[in-house]
Structure 1
Amino acid sequence: MDLQLDQLRALNAAVTEGTFDAAARSLRVTPSAISQRIKALEDAAGRILLQRTKPVRATESGLAVLRLARQIELLAGDTSQELGGTAQDAGDSGRSTGRPVRVPIAVNADSLESWVMPALARVPSGVCFEIHREDEEHTTRLLRDGTVMAAITSTAAPVQGCKVDKLGAMRYRPMASPEFAETWFGGGATTKAYAAAPVVLFDRKDDLQDRQLRRRSRQPIDPPRHYFPSSAGFAEAVRLGLGWGMLPDLQVSGDEAAGRLVAIDGDAFIDVPLYWQQWRLDSPALSGIAVAIAAAAAGALR
């Protein structure tokens, strides 16, 4: 099977940008050229690789070719960085003059808000990040379909073609404002209290609160629910007394010390293990990110 680089770049651009027109602008060619290159790639593969929807989507066969296209793009970007200049010949800034390497990464919201951003700031120059925010239990899907090259996940089993390193664990505890805790849990963290008290969730994939509820009752509990799909918004909703929620120690230690939040269930906690999964590629860009993530996790996680 003869796969041409310009064809692979067209496939990657079409899926990344969502339309042939946007892909054409990205690659500075005409939409007709994008269409012709993808058609030639499909002829070479003997498969339909793209669903011509809005946005365009890769077929199951297309995902396999897309992973190859993105791996080649990453390695080409690494090479461009290497050929573009070194710290010695890039001037006083110490920055490479090569074209930045784009690296898509999947990160859960709590990690992104608390310890990942400082880690990314320490990655050597020459890397542009495309962050996909996703629950840590679902980030492996984005690795599997080639959307991202690396992910922070709660899954220890490696996705095919990836390697895994353990980072540590984030500890979550059921927290609430003092007023909320007194109103709903004044008599203790009983099953009856949990069944009646409103609870705050990040989104419908967020299972942490239900895990806590299952620990406290053998019967299904379905309390009133609020959804706040941002890490900062979620924590603020709990601070304001809209409900209780499982909050990471990294995010609320200052609030607890100041009396703005209290634990509603004694020493109850849930530790969520986190792992770094990335494609098995000899890529300086990926390696640099992995080193920065590991260093930050060592100082932040349990």
Structure 2
Amino acid sequence: MRKLINNSTMVRMNKFILLMLFLPGLYPCSNAQEIRKIVLPVLYQDIPLSNGLIGGEEVNDAGAIFNISIAEITVMLPASEEPTSCIIMFPGGAYKFVNIIEAGFRGAEIFNKAGIAVVVVKYRLPNGNGLVPLEDGTQVIRMVRRMAKEWNINPNKIGIYGSSAGGHLASMLSVHWKPANPASINEWEHYSSRPDFVILVKPVINTAGSGSMKNFAGENPSADKLHFANSLNFISKDCAPAFIVHATNDKAAPVQGSISYYLKLIENGVPAEMHIFGEGGHGGIGFKNKKNPEDEWVNLLLRWKYLY
């Protein structure tokens, strides 16, 4: 069952509140977990693209969110004397919904315990216009980089994580990033949107006929749209190091896409590490921790040198 959330009832922050968020030491804090948590909308200087979705958001019993037209981030900061790494998480959901609990907050808890800051992104759904979530992802990376000092984050260790369709989005952000432009009148563009590392978990890559791609690019996308939506076409030596996880028996997002992404990185001299598990399918590779062999990927990631 889905519950309707009317966007008109959502809190809209005024300039004073936003200013307060940019000052240190003023964030809500959970002493039990020693985690500072901040929830705020994705901020834009100019009017962002529209995905054409109207009405309120809907949430099902599993916490998956549908009909998203306003992007939001949840920042989770562990207590640390030194600046920490940061993982920006893009949960999956076939670009039809955002599976924010299963593929977002559960992982955030694990990363926080390892001393890593986390930003979980509730990105706008494309509704056929893939530039919309891509715009959100680009902006979130810039926001985190701008706020790095206040949030005690190492500005050179800001990476992205994506699973399933969120993995497609992360792969797109890994190749379509924007360099810093200090001369721009748009203050956000003073900050680069290039991630420092990329984590792809069962990503949807090079699957033109899939439901995810139809939701991303539309029912009958042009050849140019499909070319743009395939991150394999844009991998270069300037891409960030990547950690990739997939299952051989994944029917929803074939492992061949991840293998191709990995090989393209290697061809371009980009550091990459890939782990392929024989079992797990699509749903088994995640944060379930059922003590199956494929659950070991989390420990492998936490030992990855580019994470810290």
**Is the structural similarity TM-score above 0.5?**
no
Larger Rg: 1
Instruction: Say which structure, 1 or 2, has more relative contact order (CA 8 Å, 6+ apart).
Output: 1
Normalising by structure 1, report the TM-score. 0.30
Normalising by structure 2, report the TM-score. 0.29
The structure whose residues are more often helix, as a share, is 1
